[in-house]
Amino acid sequence: MMKFATPRCAENYLKIAIASASFSLLFLFLPMSAHADTNSLLNPIVPTECHCEGQKAPDGSTITTAPGYGCVLQTVQNGVNVLISISILVCVLWLAYAGTLFLASSASPGLREQGKTRIMNAVIGLVVILAAWLIIDFVMKALYNGDSSFGPWNSILASQSSDDKCIVAKNPTSLTSGSISIVSGTSATGASSGTGTSADANAAAGQEASSRKLLSDAGVSIWHGACQAGQSGGCTNVGGTRAATLQQVLNINTKVCGAGKKCGVVLTGGSEPGHKAGQYSHGTGYKIDIDDSAAVNTVLNALTHTGERGGDNGGPIFKDSCQNQYVHESTHWDITVFAACSL
């Protein structure tokens, strides 16, 4: 005759099943937590390559640089991995403890109920922990222009090659020819004569002439002649423009036309009056304007697009490897130069 399991037998079977499931989960998740992200519990949170020692400068010398954007993101991801690994380990141990408590509490309904509650809490905790990475991934991608590519968010938002994890040092770029001299507005003894207006004017004229010659020799045209005293329109000044800014104009011309060649690169705005003031402005020598010819557009539109600038002088923003900013306004390129580098 077929025998049916008594209620007590069924309860014993349930205890054995829960205990087996608990220990199965223990052996399942312990290796996962121990080896998550290639032993994230054992590896340093800050990657070794982010120490940025022994980097190669463009001239071949060995230098130490600073961690870049990719290192910051990788360090954050490593920290998240460690926290998730520890949390999984704690949850699994708690689940095993709850299962053992339930198994050993046949004589105490209260303890048996505690065991059930703890098992449920541990399972919910595991689900939340395992979903945490997906939540972080979704939020980070949503904040980063809605990127929906597949893979860890830190590997999508920044390149994971070791070359991109450290800031690349660049050697100063010298002017292709000549130099820009700064003429003092005082006499040889250091005392100014009269109001110094004549000396200042001579200094400005000297800078203007040397800067114009530098650009002209390289094949760059200037839209208007230099401003005369009191003139605020219909003129273009380049005197007072920083050497790095002038050099970047030459680099643009070299990329568009070839070294020393003339093919229509026209500087339309420099240090003349009438531009908006600011720390990084035309007046301080950081900004220049270049006509948006088809050849110039082809070169500058190939740079990295980083966003849009609003307002009356708005337009798409592009950046080069030196983080110089190129904004394509309606009739010209508004360029802010922090350092000279090839395109």
- Mean pLDDT, range 82-86, rounded to an integer: 83
pLDDT greater than 60 at residue 151? no
Domain stops at, among 104, 137, 164: 164
Domain stops at, among 164, 180, 201: 164
- Mean pLDDT, range 262-275, rounded to an integer: 91
- Mean pLDDT, range 149-165, rounded to an integer: 53
Same domain as 152, residue 25 = yes
Phi, psi of 255, deg, nearest 5: -70, -40
Residue 274 placed within a domain: yes
Closest CA to 294 of 258, 257, 341, 325: 257
Closest CA to 213 of 182, 184, 238, 187: 238
Vertex 287: Cα angle to 258 and 230 (nearest 5) = 115
Domain stops at, among 105, 130, 164: 164
Question: What's the confidence (pLDDT) of residue 296?
Answer: 95
Where do the H-state alpha helices sit in the chain? 7-35, 69-103, 109-143, 153-157, 197-217, 243-257, 294-300
For residue 134, give the 3-state DSSP assignment: helix
Same domain as 217, residue 118 = no
pLDDT greater than 80 at residue 261? yes
Give CA–CA dist 215/222, Å, rounded.
Answer: 8
Residue 191 placed within a domain: no
Phi, psi of 319, deg, nearest 5: -135, 150
Q: How confident is the model at residue 206 (pLDDT cuts 50, 70, 90)?
A: confident
Q: What is the 3-state secondary structure (H, E, C) of 75-94?
A: HHHHHHHHHHHHHHHHHHHH
Question: What's the confidence (pLDDT) of residue 25?
Answer: 53
Domain total in the chain:
2
Same domain as 230, residue 331 = yes
Higher pLDDT, 44 or 182: 44
Q: How confident is the model at residue 294 (pLDDT cuts 50, 70, 90)?
A: very high
Same domain as 11, residue 159 = yes
Question: Is 17:25 a contact under the CB 8 Å cutoff?
Answer: no
Which residue pairs from 81-85 have beta carbons closer than 8 angstroms and sit at least 24 positions apart in sequence?
A: 81/36, 81/37, 81/40, 82/40, 82/41, 82/45, 84/36, 84/129, 84/130, 84/132, 84/133, 85/33, 85/34, 85/36, 85/37, 85/40, 85/41
Same domain as 105, residue 227 = no
Same domain as 105, residue 46 = yes
Greatest Cα pair distance in the chain: 127
Same domain as 217, residue 134 = no
Q: How confident is the model at residue 291 (pLDDT cuts 50, 70, 90)?
A: very high
pLDDT greater than 80 at residue 286? yes
pLDDT greater than 60 at residue 62? yes
Q: How confident is the model at residue 292 (pLDDT cuts 50, 70, 90)?
A: very high
Question: What's the confidence (pLDDT) of residue 79?
Answer: 83
Give CA–CA dist 121/26, Å, rounded.
Answer: 15
Same domain as 143, residue 213 = no
Question: What's the confidence (pLDDT) of residue 190?
Answer: 38
Same domain as 248, residue 154 = no
Q: Residue 214: CB partners within 8 Å, gap ≥ 6?
A: 175, 177, 178, 180, 246, 250
Q: How confident is the model at residue 313 (pLDDT cuts 50, 70, 90)?
A: confident
Higher pLDDT, 325 or 113: 325
Residue 203 placed within a domain: no
Same domain as 226, residue 129 = no
Residue 342 placed within a domain: no
Residue 138 placed within a domain: yes
Q: Residue 333: CB partners within 8 Å, gap ≥ 6?
A: 289, 290, 291, 292, 296, 300, 326, 327
Same domain as 30, residue 110 = yes
Question: What's the confidence (pLDDT) of residue 293?
Answer: 93
Same domain as 148, residue 13 = yes
Residue 192 placed within a domain: no
Residue 182 placed within a domain: no
Predicted TM-score (pTM) of the model is 0.45
Question: Is 112:102 a contact under the CB 8 Å cutoff?
Answer: yes
Question: What's the confidence (pLDDT) of residue 231?
Answer: 84
pLDDT greater than 60 at residue 311? yes
- Mean pLDDT, range 181-190, rounded to an integer: 43
Q: 289: domain range?
A: 209-336
Residue 202 placed within a domain: no
For residue 208, give the 3-state DSSP assignment: helix
